[in-house]
Structure 1
Amino acid sequence: MNVYDAAKILGITGEINPKIVKSAFREACKKYHPDINPAGEELMKMVNEAYEVLKNHSGESKGEQSDYGNALSAALNAIIHLPDLIIEICGAWIWVTGNTKVHKTLLNESGFWWASKKKAWYFRPEEYRSKSRGKKSLGDIRAKYGSVRPDNKKASHPNTLKSYDR
């Protein structure tokens, strides 16, 4: 995860220093804790990774105030209970494969986009969309950012994440 994505997940804009990062991390923990949020375990993995990237960072964050974490939370909570989906979190993106055809409408309504070259759905808020036009394969993305798969059959059960680094 890069500094830009980490700052978006923690909702930090402007100056970044360890004190600001710690405060933003604590707020995110309160908001996305698994006891409060059904998809909280997956979101906490992202928050922890963002904290690790930024905890010793000093500088400026690009962009305006972000609701990125809340957008990820809403998208993940909308689909985590659906059967036959393979959900992967790679960096700050959510990728969905498996039997997606039957859930096409809900995925679309939840803000997911179809990546035809990768044959997968992805979520990234509209204002943060990439300009690369999909030059990397899903395998390349997994290799660069790692991959965490929530077990959507046991979304509220502890220890449901599996890490896949390919």
Structure 2
Amino acid sequence: MKISDALSVLGVPSGATQAEIKAAYKAAAKKYHPDLNPAGAEMMKLVNAAFDVLQAQGTVHTDEATNVNYGEDLNAALNAIIDLDGLEIEICGAWIWVGGNTREHKDALKAAGFKYASKKKRWNFRPAGWKSKSRGRSTMEDIREKHGSAKPKRPARSSMALRAAP
């Protein structure tokens, strides 16, 4: 994960001190805890990865723009699609990639802020203002190799909801 992405996930600006990063980590851990949030397990993985990247630094400076609301935006996007059937959700770095049966969920994906990447045949959610340097030349395998990959577990559906009414 890039430093600018890590700052965006935790919602801290460039120039943040270790004390500010630790306070932002604690606030994010409380906010995105899996007991309080359907997509919490995946959000906590991102928060922990961001904290690990920033913890190794002193005062963190970057010339790249950061979006201090990205963690909230990412959480809202993930929660909007986590229960949709037929989607293959994958988190690579600080991006969400969605494949599978997306045609029937096209409107929901657009409403959640996802963009379609025609070369990859997948939808993605990324930080606002992000500019591509590769112009789409990277394959999904390249992205997975560089940023890692995790597939979120879907929330278990209640056994009561699965039973037919008498």
Structure 1 and Structure 2 fold alike (TM over 0.5): yes
Instruction: Looking at secondary structure, tell me which structure has more strand per residue.
Output: 1
TM-score (norm 1): 0.87
When residues 44 and 116 of structure 1 are mapped into structure 2, their CA distance, relative to the original with a 3 A threshold, is same
What is aligned with 2:101? 99
- How many residues are paired up? 156
Q: Confirm whether residue 115 of structure 1 aligns to residue 117 of structure 2.
A: yes
- Which of 75, 84, 87 is the matching residue for 2:86? 84
Larger displacement relative to structure 2 (140-149 or 18-27): 18-27
Write the mapping of 1:13-162 to structure 2, written as runs, cut at 5 A.
13-58=13-58, 59-62=60-63, 63=65, 66-152=68-154, 154=156
When residues 67 and 155 of structure 1 are mapped into structure 2, their CA distance, relative to the original with a 3 A threshold, is farther
TM-score (norm 2): 0.87
Contact 1:17 1:57 in 2 (8 A): no
* CA–CA separation in structure 1 for the residues paired with 2:85 and 2:52: 32
- Per-residue deviation at 1:21? 1.4
* CA–CA separation in structure 1 for the residues paired with 2:151 and 2:119: 21
- Per-residue deviation at 1:126? 3.0
Gaps of 5+ in 2: 159-166
Contact 1:7 1:61 in 2 (8 A): no
Taking only aligned residues, the RMSD between alpha carbons, in angstroms, comes to: 1.8
Quick one: percent identity of the two aligned structures? 50
* CA–CA separation in structure 2 for the residues paired with 1:137 and 1:31: 33
Deviations 1:40-87 (A, max 9, x none): 110000000000001121232443561000000000000000011100
For the residue of structure 2 that corresponds to 1:148, the secondary structure is coil
Gaps of 5+ in 1: 157-166
